[in-house]
Amino acid sequence: MLTAGVHLTYKGDINMRRRNVLLAGLVVLILSLTSLSIAYAQSFRTGNDATLQSNSTVDGSLYLAGTTVDVAGQVNGDVYCVGSNVTISGTINGDVLCAAQNINIIGTVSGSVRVIAQNVTIASSIGRNLNVAAQQVSLTSNGKIGGDATIAATNTTLNGSITRDMVVAGSTITINDMIGRNVNAAAGQLQFGSNAVVKGNVSYKSNNEAIVSSGAKVNGTITRTSSLRNTTGRSGVNFYGVAFAWSLFMVFGFVMFSLVTVLLFPEMLYVTAERTTKYPWKTLLIGLLAAIALPILSFVLAISILGIPLSIAVVLIWILLAMFSGPFVAFYIGRMLLKNTNNALLIMLVGVLAVSVLYIIPIVGWVVSIFSYLGGLGILLLELHSHYHKPHYTIKPVKAMKE
């Protein structure tokens, strides 16, 4: 599906972290499908300007959707937001999960930050991990990541510190501060400024040697692996930039397609979400069976020669079901999160944000994609079945209408 970034090869203790991330992803997915509705204290801000004033406190999760999103107060829970320009200058005692054009975090976040944007600036302390998919990412000198950082961006500049590991992919990556453990990178050009300190190993994939300025320190080893092809082809096109741009396009395409879907079929999405809430595991099982049966059916029809037209029809139906599976799952998750609201557009905004943020997390994104696909198939098939009526093949004669 829709994961932004480049797949990297992990070694040594990174393999353990991959397993931990996978396990965490499964837990997050199960929670999002079964128990995220247990949020007793929720606050919603929508409109052109969605704000939380500096003298305000929210004891619970905060959901914001608007052209301009400004969180200046204190949130004792998670922040979910969708907007054009997002600024978080308050104190967040939880996680931040947002999608926007521009995101500026200048307040303190005790949890993790997972965002999708064109431009992301981190100028404060983040207690746990950072997961970003963007065009430009900047960690200022006032920025500090308390855990790991996973970044997919065209250009990344790190003037602040990262306490543990960094996994990064992009065209240009510049490190000017401390990395507490290891660096794993795929880059067109990797640069270490004079103030850079890496306490572990550096493993990077690039056709260009890393630029290490005088004064930069790497306590471990530096290992370079050449890319299978040049980062820049004969036409001058940067392959990392193209790959990232395509990934970002797919993510935002998913967001736009989901919003169009909710504008066209709000009632259908609401009904299917309510039905899925009653039978979540039945829905997932039906999706799994359909995912196995549809390709087999298409193949059997195709090899029968006479069944080729039917095989093509099955494939087209399969594609349509796959396309709509994501929006239906996003709406279901949004409905679980926003249990006490009936605003279909807001439900979809929150749901698609949650799914998109999970998509960009390495490994977890693939797990979420699979569950989203299977769950979406199950939801759609149950909905189609609810509208199915047994056909009558005995046609009653109809008198011709008089002219």
Residue 104 inside a domain? The answer is: yes
Judge contact between 346 and 89, C-beta under 8 A.
no
Query: How far is it between the farthest Cα atoms of the chain?
Result: 96
Task: Judge if 192 and 153 occupy the same domain.
Answer: yes
Per-residue pLDDT tens listing for the chain (403 residues): 333 333 344 344 444 444 444 444 443 343 343 333 333 345 777 667 888 999 999 998 888 877 788 999 999 998 887 777 899 999 999 999 887 778 999 999 999 998 877 889 999 999 999 988 788 899 999 999 999 998 888 899 999 999 999 998 888 999 999 999 999 998 889 999 999 999 999 999 888 899 999 999 999 999 988 754 544 444 444 455 555 556 666 677 777 788 888 888 888 888 888 777 777 777 777 878 888 888 888 888 888 777 788 888 888 888 888 888 888 888 888 887 777 777 888 888 878 877 777 776 656 667 677 777 887 888 888 878 777 777 776 776 655 544 4
How many domains does the chain fold into? 2
Query: What is the C-alpha separation between 88 and 389, in angstroms, rounded?
Result: 52
Burial of 403 by CB count in 10 Å (0-12 exposed, 13-18 middle, 19+ buried)?
exposed
Task: Judge if 258 and 366 occupy the same domain.
Answer: yes
User: What six digits make up the tokens of 9?
Assistant: 């090869």
Task: Judge if 203 and 330 occupy the same domain.
Answer: no
Angle in degrees, CA 323, 286, 318, rounded to 5: 30
Query: What is the C-alpha separation between 199 and 337, in angstroms, rounded?
Result: 40
Pairing of strands 49-52, 61-71: parallel
Task: Judge if 47 and 144 occupy the same domain.
Answer: yes
Task: Judge if 279 and 307 occupy the same domain.
Answer: yes
Task: Judge if 282 and 351 occupy the same domain.
Answer: yes
The b/e string for 98-128 (b: 16+ C-beta within 10 A; e otherwise) is: bbbebbbbbbbbebbbbbbbbbbbbbbbbbb
Task: Judge if 90 and 221 occupy the same domain.
Answer: yes
Task: Judge if 265 and 364 occupy the same domain.
Answer: yes
Task: Judge if 50 and 105 occupy the same domain.
Answer: yes
Task: Judge if 221 and 121 occupy the same domain.
Answer: yes
Pairing of strands 125-126, 113-116: unpaired
Q: How confident is the model at residue 164, as a pLDDT?
A: 95
Residue 394 inside a domain? The answer is: no
**Residue 134 sits in which domain range?**
40-225
- The CA–CA distances, whole Å, from 351 to 65, 248, 284, 339 equal 12, 18, 18, 12
Q: How confident is the model at residue 198, as a pLDDT?
A: 95
Global pTM reads 0.56
Residue 251 inside a domain? The answer is: yes
Task: Judge if 255 and 379 occupy the same domain.
Answer: yes
Domain boundary among 225, 258, 275: 225
Task: Judge if 121 and 168 occupy the same domain.
Answer: yes
